[in-house]
A and B are shown apart, each in its own frame.
Chain A
Amino acid sequence: MDLTLLLQGIVSGILASGLYALVSVGLALAIGVIGIVNFAHGEFFMVGAFITYQLFISFGFDPVISLFFVAPTLFLLGGAIYQSSIRYVLKAPELNQMLLTFGISIILQNLALLIWGGDPRTISSVAYRSIGYQLGGVSIGLVPLASFLISLVIVGSLYYALLKTPAGRAMRAVAQNRMGASLIGLEVNRVYLVTFALSALLAGLGGVMIAVIQSPTPIVGFAFTLKAFAIVVLAGLGNIRGILWASLVVALSESLVATLVPNGDALRNAVFFAIIFVVLIARSRRLA
């Protein structure tokens, strides 16, 4: 086996894991705190990517600056979707919840298709897009490296906020015991609203990065919903602490399959499904 290729696969996997953690942690929040399985999570990611693209095309905004526009926009979008639909199905059977979020996902995808069409959209003229470093035959792009570091900072801040700020304590309290939380004065519905909006914000920030890393189309969200589900399932549904290592495992598996297996690039999505299958089967065997 080619050692350089292996190293390249490992490095690429590690760099991708940051972005994966950023997107998955939002999904884990929605599942862990609100208990809603959100199939539209990847669409928040996609919307973040296309807002970044549009801001670049219309106003020449650097994607780094777009982070500060996308964050509040996606927070509001997430909040609006929660208030107008999600909150009404919280007590409904899970199938209804999934169908609703699936419907939201289709609406957002098709709105994006209407506005931007189906072609990949590239932010080509930012100077740093082509900068890369060579380390003993392994190439490291500046953009993946920066997205890895920015993602880690955001996820790290989120972990800190969850542990140490009043809002974070409120989210954990509601996640651990909803009735207990309402009896000590926590407005559970408000906590849900903020959590869902925050979940959309986190996915949107990931979208900003993918707008530079790849050339997204309106269906890019689905791939990331799938990745996020594989990670969330591996970490344990709703387990926020487990997201970091689970992201690393999933990103490394994907990257190694893509670089080492012949025609492996076409098998990327199969990796996520395989992880979901294996974890779910292993868990249910342990329960049985």
Chain B
Amino acid sequence: MSILQAQGLSKKFGGLDAVSELSFAVEAKEIFAIIGPNGAGKTTTLNMISGLIKPSAGKLKLNGQEISIKDSAERCHLGLGRAFQVVQPFPEMTVEENVLVGALFGKSGVSEATGRKLAQEVLKQTGLLALKDTPAEELTLLQEKRLEIARALATQPKVLLLDEVMAGLRPGEARQAVELVKNIRNKGVTIVFIEHVMPVVRDLADRVMVMDYGKKLAEGSYQQVTNNPQVIEAYLGAEE
């Protein structure tokens, strides 16, 4: 059974169909990329999955359970984690406390001691251990992005949504981030990510869904979609 399923997902903003009739399924432990030109509806889709905006129509299932009517916090408790393109840290808390808060509230009934242990592991995994006492507002962009991922990981997600986490990173940094994401998947977390940097998509994605004008244009391996004439015309061709 697919771990994350969308059926007929639609979102209208006024008269605009930001996303229309979108259906897809992500398998457990898969790395699933969503790509498409600006305004294709990728972030709207991610916002609907994480519960920040309500779909106009359609259904969402996480692990077979209907989540469309649940709010962000409930979805988090059910195993949905999210890291943003524009990072959303708690600026006046230290790196460690940011992650600890994720650990404490991401699942119900996590004690302070368990939370601290979990935070410690996640900090190690994301390479932030040396910065644990630094206030989040003093981090560099790369560090902020790591923190964003670390805090989401601390909520113990089954599915992690990554919204252009590579944006603004230098090539060397992006390579580090790619390794980190692979490492997270190897621990059993399913990844759904939006990305503009094509080499990153190539290196990471098991499967790619291409969106354009709110609709699914193509779906398949990186090779398949990048050789699809429709995709080339709508997306890759338009970039040259």
With beta carbons under 8 angstroms apart, the residue of A166, A176, A183, A187 that contacts B92 is A176
CB distance from B181 to the nearest CB of A (A): 18
Q: A185-B155, A186-B73 are in contact. Are A180 and B105 (CB under 8 A)?
A: no
Tell me which residues from 48 to 88 in chain B have a Cβ below 8 Å from any Cβ of chain A.
Answer: 50, 52, 71-73, 76-77, 81-82, 88
Which of these binds chain A: B3-11, B94-102, B124-132, B167-175?
B94-102
| Size class of the contact patch on chain B | 20 to 34
Q: A180-216, CB under 8 A of B: which get 1 and which 0?
A: 1111111110000000000000000000000000000
Could you tell me the distance between the alpha carbons of A183 and B83 in the complex, rounded to whole angstroms? 9
Chain A residues near B71: list those with CB within 8 A: 182, 187
CB distance from B61 to the nearest CB of A (A): 19
With beta carbons under 8 angstroms apart, the residue of A166, A172, A177, A182 that contacts B73 is A182
Q: A172-B93, A177-B88 are in contact. Are A188 and B104 (CB under 8 A)?
A: no
A183:B88 contact, CB within 8 angstroms: yes
Could you tell me the distance between the alpha carbons of A172 and B155 in the complex, rounded to whole angstroms? 18
Q: Is the interface of B mostly helix, strand, loop or mixed?
A: helix
Give the size of the chain A interface in residues (CB under 8 angstroms). 17
Residue in B closest to A241 when the chains form the complex, CB atoms: B92
User: How many pairs of residues, A versus B, come closer than 8 Å at their CB atoms?
Assistant: 69
Q: A182-B73, A183-B72, A184-B155 are in contact. Are A177 and B104 (CB under 8 A)?
A: no
B101:A169 contact, CB within 8 angstroms: yes
Does A179 have its Cβ within 8 Å of any Cβ on chain B? yes
Q: A183-B72, A187-B73 are in contact. Are A177 and B90 (CB under 8 A)?
A: yes
A188:B101 contact, CB within 8 angstroms: no
B105:A184 contact, CB within 8 angstroms: yes
B104:A180 contact, CB within 8 angstroms: no
Q: What is the interface of chain A, defined by CB distance below 8 A to chain B?
A: 166, 169-170, 172-173, 176-177, 179-188
Known: A176-B92, A182-B71, A185-B106. 11 other contacts (CB 8 A): A166-B112, A169-B97, A169-B100, A170-B104, A177-B89, A182-B72, A183-B81, A183-B88, A185-B77, A185-B155, A187-B71
